[in-house]
A and B are shown apart, each in its own frame.
Chain A
Amino acid sequence: MNNREFTPESEYTYDRSSVWRWLVSHAMRYPMHVVVGTLFRAGVVVAAVQVPKLMGDAFDAVAQANAEASVLLGFGLAILGISVLRGALQLLANYTAEIVALRMERDVRDELYVNLLGKSQTYHGQQRVGDIMARATNDVKQLNYMVNPGLLLLSEWLVNMVAPIAAIGIFLSVDLLPIPVLFLILFLIALRGYLRRLTPVAGALRAQFGALNATLTESIAGIEVVKSNAQEEQEHNRFRVKAEDYRDLFVKQGKIQALYLPLLMFSFCLALGLAHSLYLYTNGALTIGQVITFMGFLAMLRFPTFVSIFAFSLVKLGTAGAERILAILNAETEIDENRAGIEQRIEGEVVFDNVSFAYHGANTLKNISFQAKPGETIAIVGQTGSGKSTLTRLINRIYEVSDGRVLIDGVDVRVWSMESLRSQIATIDQDVFLFSRTLAENIAFGVRRPVNREEIEAVAKQAQAHDFIMSFKDGYDTVVGERGVTLSGGQRQRIAIARAFLADPRILVLDDSTSAIDSATEDQIQRALRNILHGRTTFLITHRLSQIRWADRILVLRGGELEDQGTHDELMARSPAYRNIFAHRDERYTAALPATLVGE
C-alpha cells in the first residue's frame, strides 16, 4: 500500500498493478451485474443468430415448393417472437452494462479523489489543477464510455464475428468455412496494426486534453492579471496553440480510423464467398437456399466489422484515460498518515534536531536545530524566501524533512498519527483560502464535532469578525465566492482567526496573519491573539516589533539556515543579521517621520 495522508471510513480496494487488472477489479465489484449482463448478452446473440437461420429455412421451404401460408406464417411468427425477445434481452443487457459503467465512473472518481486527498503538499505543488480536473472528470467519463458502449460493442463484435462463422460450419457445410476463416485471421492481423497505430495517438489525445484544460484553468483563475495587462490576445494564442495541437491529434486519430482495412476485407470476403458458394452450388454441393443462407451469414459479419472501429477506439481511449488516472493513483507520495501512530494530547514541546529540507531547489532549509518549550511563543524572522513558512510546515508534516528530526513532546512527528498531530496544530496563513460554503461552515471548518451557532458567533466576536458578517444580508449564512472573492483580505483573515479560535489547537502557527487587518480592529485582534497564544506553543512569523515583543525567543533565518536565536535584546546586541533587518527600517522612518512626532 502506498503512503497516504487520508483514509476514508470505508474503502474498497482495487488491484492497481496494471490497467486491465485495475479495470477488471472495478468491474468485479459488481459480479452479479457482470454475470447477469453477460448472460443477457449471450441470450441476445443466440436470439440474433436464429433470425437468418429461420430465413434460410423459409427460403428452402419456398424453394422446395411446399410453402403453404401456414408454414410461412409460422416462420413469420417465430421471427417476430425472437425479435421481441431479443429486444427485451438487449434492453436488460444494456441496463446492466450502463449500471456497471456508471458505478465504475462513480467509484473511480471517488478512488481518485480520496487518493488526491492523501497526496502530500509536495506532490500537489508539482501538479496543475486543470490537468487533474481533466483526469477526474473527462478521463473518468471516458472509462464509462469504454464499458458502455465500448466493451458492450466489443463483446457483440466478438460473438457476432464468431457466431455466423460457427453457424456456417454447423448448419451449412464445412466446405464453406475457408473464406470466412481466412477473413477472420486477416481481420485480426489488421486489427493489431490498427491498435498499434491508435495507441500512441489515443494517449497523446487524452494528455493533450489535460494540457488544454490546465491552460484554460490558469487563464480563468488569473483573469484579473490577464485583464489588467490587456493580455487577452496572448492568452488566446496560448490557448489556441493547445487547442490546435488537440485538433491535430483528433484529425490524426480520425485518419487512422478512416484507414480501417477490415471494412475492405469484409467486401472481399463477401465477393469471394459468393463465388465460392455459387461454385459449390453449380457442383450440386449446395442448394440455392443454402447459398442464400450462407450469404446471409456472411452479411451478418458486416455489423461486427463496422462496429469494431468504434468498439476498439472507445476501448483505446478508455485505457489511455485509465493510464492517466492510474498514473496519479500509483504516484508515490512521501508522507503517510500513520494511522497506527501515537494519539495523545500534545503538551507542546517542539524540537528541531538538525533538520534539512529540499523542495524544488528553492525554499530549502539546512541543519536547523532549536527547541520550544510547551507554551512558549517563538517568533521567526528572516528575508522573504528564507524558508520561514517552510519551517512551520514541517511541524504539522505538510512537508516531510529530508534529513534530521522534528520532535513534538519528544516524539518524532513521523511517529505521531497524522490525525492526532494535525488536529492539534492550527495555522493561520497570509493567503486565506475559503471554501464556497457559508461563513458559518468556513469558521466551523476546523472541528469535527457539530458546532452550534452560538459557539460560532462567540469565536467570530473574539476574532472581530461578527460585525462585518452581520453587515451581510445573509449574515453567517452568506456563501463565500470562490477563493473568497467577495471578502476583502482583512475579512478573510478574521474568518481564519475565528476558525483557529474554534479549533482550540495545542500548537498554533501564525504566518503573518494579522497583517491584512486594517484600521481600528487591529488592536483588538492583537489583544485577542494574545489571549489565544496563552497556554499553547505558538510560532509567529512576523516582523512587527509589537508582536515580536510577545515572543520568548526569536529565530533568525537566512538563506535557509538558522543564523541565530535568542530574545530581542540579546539579538540586537549580538546578531548583525538581526540588527540589519531592523536597522534599515529605523533609517527610513527617522528620515520620513515629521519632526513633531519623533520628538514626542
Chain B
Amino acid sequence: MGFVMDGLDADAYDREYSDRALLRRIITYFRPQARPMLLVAIAIFAGALTDTAVPILISRGIDLVVANPATQIMVLLVIAILVLSSVSWGLNFLRQWLSAVAIGNVTLQIREDAFNATMGHDLSFFDDQPTGKLVSRVSSDTDGFAETVSLTMNLISQVMLVVLMGCVLLVINWQLGLITIAMAPFVAAISLVFRRIARETSLHSRRIMAQVNAHIEESISGIAVAKVFRQEKAVHDDFVRINRQAYRVNFRQGIVLNTFFPVFNATAGIGTAIVVYFGGLNTASGAMSVGDWYLFIQALMFFWFPLTQIASFWSQFQNGLSASERVFGLIDAEPRVVQTGDAPADDLQGGFEFRDVRFSYQPTETVLPDFSLTIPPGESVALVGHTGSGKTSIVRLVARFYEFQEGQLLVDGRDIRAFNLPSYRRQIGIVPQSPFLFSGTVGENIRYGRPDAKEADVLRAVEHIAGGNWLADLPNGLDTDVGERGGRLSMGQRQLVALARVMLHDPAVFILDEATASVDPFTEIQIQDGVEAIMRDRTSIVIAHRLYTVQRADRILVLDSGRILEEGTHEMLLAAGGHYAELYDTYFRHQSLEYVESVIH
C-alpha cells in the first residue's frame, strides 16, 4: 500500500508535538472559557447523579411493589422519577448549550490565531505554500480542533458515569461488580492499540484533504487557461488521481474508526453473559433480590455504554490531535523576518543604505551576493536590468518582505529591523506589476490602506492620478464592483486603482514594479502622470520598463546578477555608451519617438 501514501509528506513547517505538549496547549485555549466549562462540569456531574438515580428508583420501586403493592407508593415513585428526569433534562440542556458556547468560542479563538499567524508570515513562507493548503489548515483543521473540545467534555461526563455506575455495581453486589470492573483493562488495551493507528491514518487523511483543497483552488483560479487550451481533460485526470488517492487514504481511516464499536459491543456482550449467569445463580440461591438483579443488569448497560465511549475516545481524539498538530504547526512556524526593535516609523524620511547585503531565496541560488547602495531621502531611483538581475529582490528587501542573510540595511540610518513592522510598512506604498484587488468596490479598494478615509479624500486621491478622468469610464464610478482579484476591471484600470490607493495612503516611500504590460498610450499617459504625481516629494524606487520613467528618475541603476554595473542619469549613461546604452537600444529605444517615426516612414 506504499503508493497510497505518495506525496503525503509533512509540509516544511510541520512539527511533531508530544501528546502532552498538545494537550497542554489545548487546555490554554479552554482557560478563558473556565466559567461556562465549570458550569458544564457541574451540570455533567449533577446530571450523572440524576441519571444514576432513575434506574435505582425503578429497581427499588419494583422491589417495594413486589413486597407491598400499594397505589400510593407507585404514585410517589412515578412522581419522583418524573421530577428527577426533568431535572436531568434541564441539566443536559445547560450542558449542551454551554458546551456549544465554549466550543464556539474556543474554535473562534484558534481560527483567529491561525489566521493571524498566517498573515504574520513573511512572503518567503507563501512562496511554496499553495493557498488551498493554508486555507485547509485555517478553516478545516480548526474544526478538527473543536472536535477535541467536544470529545473531552463528553469524556468527562462519561468518566463520571462510569465511576458512579462502578460504585453502584459494587454496592449492589460486590462480587459481580468486581467481575464487571475486571473487564475494563481489556477495553483499555484494545483502545490503546487503536489509538496509534488512528493517529497516523487521520493525519494522512487531513494532509490529503489539504491537497484536494489546493488542487481545486488552483485549477478553479486558473480555469480560463484550461479552457483556452482545451485542457479540461488533463486537469480532470490530475484531479481524479488525487481524489482517488484521497479515497484510499480516507478508507484506511474509515476502517480503523468503524472497527471500534463492533469490537467493543462484542466485548460488552461477554460481560453481560457473565453477569446473567452469575447473577441468575445468586438470585436463584436467594443471595440477591430480583430487583437487584434487574438493577445490576440495567446498571451494567449504563456502565458499558460510557465505557465504550471512553474507550473510543482515544481513537477519535487522535483525529482532533492531528488537526491540532497541524494548526499549531502553522501558528508556531517561525517567521524569518524578525524585528529586533519596536520603533515607530511615523516620521520616516526615506533614506536607505544597503551595506554589503547578501540575499538568497534558497540557499543554493544567491540573488544579491554583496550589494551596497545609498538612496538619500526624496531621491527617485530607477532599477533596470535583465530578468533575474535582482531588481525585484531589492524592493522586496526594502519592503521587508524577506530577510537577508548578511550585511546591513539601514533606514534613516537605523537598522531596518529596529522598526515596528506595521508602522514601517505604513510608510511604504507599493504598486506591483499586476495589482491585486480585493472583491468589493473600486472605492473600497482605494481605501484599502486607509479604511477610515473620507469620500472627499478618496476623490482627491483619484483626482491626483491623471485628473481622475478614468473614474468616469467605470460603469458605476467608485461603486463599481471589481470582482474577485479585480477580474472585472482591465489591467490598466487595476493599475490606476492601485495608484490611487497609494496616493490616498500618502507614504514616505514609493515602490513601483512598473507594469510591463503595455496598455494603450492614452491610459499609459494617465498612469505615468499618476506615477509622476506620487513620485514627487518622496523617495521612490522603480523597477522601470518605461523610457519615460527612466528619463524622469534622479538616478538609474543598471543591475546584472545582483551587482550595480552603472549608475547615473539617462543622458549621462547614454553618453557613456556602456551597458545602459545597450539596454536602451534593445529595450527602451522602440518606445522613443525617433524609433516610432522610423517604423512609420
Chain B residues whose C-beta falls within 8 Å of the C-beta of A128 in the assembled complex: 439, 484
Structural contact, B139 and A55, CB atoms closer than 8 A: no
Structural contact, B272 and A83, CB atoms closer than 8 A: yes
Question: Which of B227, B281, B574, B596 has the most CB atoms of chain A within a 10 A radius of its CB?
Answer: B227
Chain B residues whose C-beta falls within 8 Å of the C-beta of A363 in the assembled complex: 488, 490
Residue A367, interface by CB 8 Å: no
Instruction: With A62-B290, A67-B284, A445-B234 as known contacts, state yes or no: A132 contacts B216, CB within 8 Å.
Output: yes
Q: Name the segment of A22-30, A220-228, A401-409 touching the other chain.
A: A220-228
Residue B159, interface by CB 8 Å: no
A520 to B224, CA, bound (A): 31
Q: Which of B454-491 contact A (CB under 8 A)?
A: 470, 473-476, 480-481, 483-485, 487-491
Q: Which of B17-49 contact A (CB under 8 A)?
A: none
Structural contact, A383 and B217, CB atoms closer than 8 A: no
Complex interface bits, B435-447 against A, C-beta within 8 A gives 1, otherwise 0: 1101100000000
Report which of A72, A218, A233, A282 forms a contact with B277, defined as CB distance below 8 A. A72
A600 to B595, CA, bound (A): 10
Residue A59, interface by CB 8 Å: yes
Chain B residues whose C-beta falls within 8 Å of the C-beta of A482 in the assembled complex: 129-131, 218
Across the interface, name the chain B residue whose C-beta is closest to A281: B65
Q: Which of B83-111 contact A (CB under 8 A)?
A: 84-86, 88-89, 92-97, 99-101, 103-105, 107-108, 111
Residue A121, interface by CB 8 Å: yes
Residue B213, interface by CB 8 Å: yes
Structural contact, B517 and A516, CB atoms closer than 8 A: yes
Q: Which of A11-38 contact B (CB under 8 A)?
A: none
Q: Give how many B residues have a beta carbon under 8 Å from the other chain's beta carbons.
A: 196
Across the interface, name the chain B residue whose C-beta is closest to A306: B305
A101 to B257, CA, bound (A): 14
Structural contact, A381 and B520, CB atoms closer than 8 A: yes
Structural contact, A360 and B220, CB atoms closer than 8 A: no
Across the interface, name the chain A residue whose C-beta is closest to B86: A264
Report which of A268, A275, A582 forms a contact with B85, defined as CB distance below 8 A. A268
Report which of A232, A272, A597 forms a contact with B594, defined as CB distance below 8 A. A597
Q: How far is the CB of B316 from chain A (nearest CB, A)?
A: 11
Residue B209, interface by CB 8 Å: yes
Structural contact, A254 and B85, CB atoms closer than 8 A: no
Instruction: With A87-B266, A586-B593 as known contacts, state yes or no: A263 contacts B387, CB within 8 Å.
Output: no
Q: Which of A22-69 contact B (CB under 8 A)?
A: 51, 54-55, 58-59, 61-63, 65, 67, 69
Across the interface, name the chain B residue whose C-beta is closest to A247: B104
Report which of B104, B365, B387 forms a contact with A468, defined as CB distance below 8 A. B387
Q: How far is the CB of A499 from chain B (nearest CB, A)?
A: 8
Residue A76, interface by CB 8 Å: yes
Complex interface bits, B242-261 against A, C-beta within 8 A gives 1, otherwise 0: 01101100110011001101
Residue B120, interface by CB 8 Å: yes
Instruction: With A76-B274, A227-B401, A519-B586 as known contacts, state yes or no: A216 contacts B240, CB within 8 Å.
Output: no
A87 to B449, CA, bound (A): 62
A216 to B439, CA, bound (A): 12
Residue A431, interface by CB 8 Å: yes
Q: Which of A276-301 contact B (CB under 8 A)?
A: 278-279, 281-282, 288, 291-292, 295-296, 299
Chain B residues whose C-beta falls within 8 Å of the C-beta of A517 in the assembled complex: 516
Residue B152, interface by CB 8 Å: no
Structural contact, B262 and A88, CB atoms closer than 8 A: yes
Report which of A51, A418, A523, A572 forms a contact with B230, defined as CB distance below 8 A. A418
A511 to B547, CA, bound (A): 22
A422 to B232, CA, bound (A): 11
Structural contact, A254 and B100, CB atoms closer than 8 A: yes
Structural contact, A263 and B401, CB atoms closer than 8 A: no
Q: Name the segment of B168-176, B347-355, B373-381, B421-429 touching the other chain.
A: B421-429
Structural contact, B488 and A544, CB atoms closer than 8 A: no
Residue B12, interface by CB 8 Å: no
A169 to B166, CA, bound (A): 34
Q: Name the segment of B185-193, B195-203, B291-299, B410-418 touching the other chain.
A: B291-299
Instruction: With A363-B488, A389-B490 as known contacts, state yes or no: A515 contacts B97, CB within 8 Å.
Output: no
Structural contact, B520 and A384, CB atoms closer than 8 A: yes
Report which of A9, A121, A231, A549 forms a contact with B449, defined as CB distance below 8 A. A231
Across the interface, name the chain A residue whose C-beta is closest to B450: A229
Residue A3, interface by CB 8 Å: no
Instruction: With A227-B123, A253-B100 as known contacts, state yes or no: A218 contacts B422, CB within 8 Å.
Output: no
Instruction: With A55-B276, A79-B272, A360-B483 as known contacts, state yes or no: A436 contacts B119, CB within 8 Å.
Output: no
Complex interface bits, B497-513 against A, C-beta within 8 A gives 1, otherwise 0: 00001000100000100
Q: Name the segment of B317-325, B522-530, B534-542 touching the other chain.
A: B522-530
A-B contact sample (10 more), CB < 8 A, given A67-B280, A296-B294 = A6-B232, A83-B273, A118-B232, A212-B139, A234-B451, A274-B58, A360-B481, A362-B474, A489-B434, A581-B520
| 4 A-B pairs closest in CB distance | A83-B269, A254-B100, A384-B492, A87-B266
24 cross-chain CB contacts under 8 A: A5-B232, A55-B297, A67-B283, A83-B266, A133-B135, A225-B448, A227-B123, A229-B449, A255-B96, A255-B97, A264-B86, A267-B84, A267-B88, A270-B81, A274-B58, A386-B520, A398-B227, A425-B228, A485-B126, A519-B385, A520-B586, A568-B600, A584-B525, A585-B525
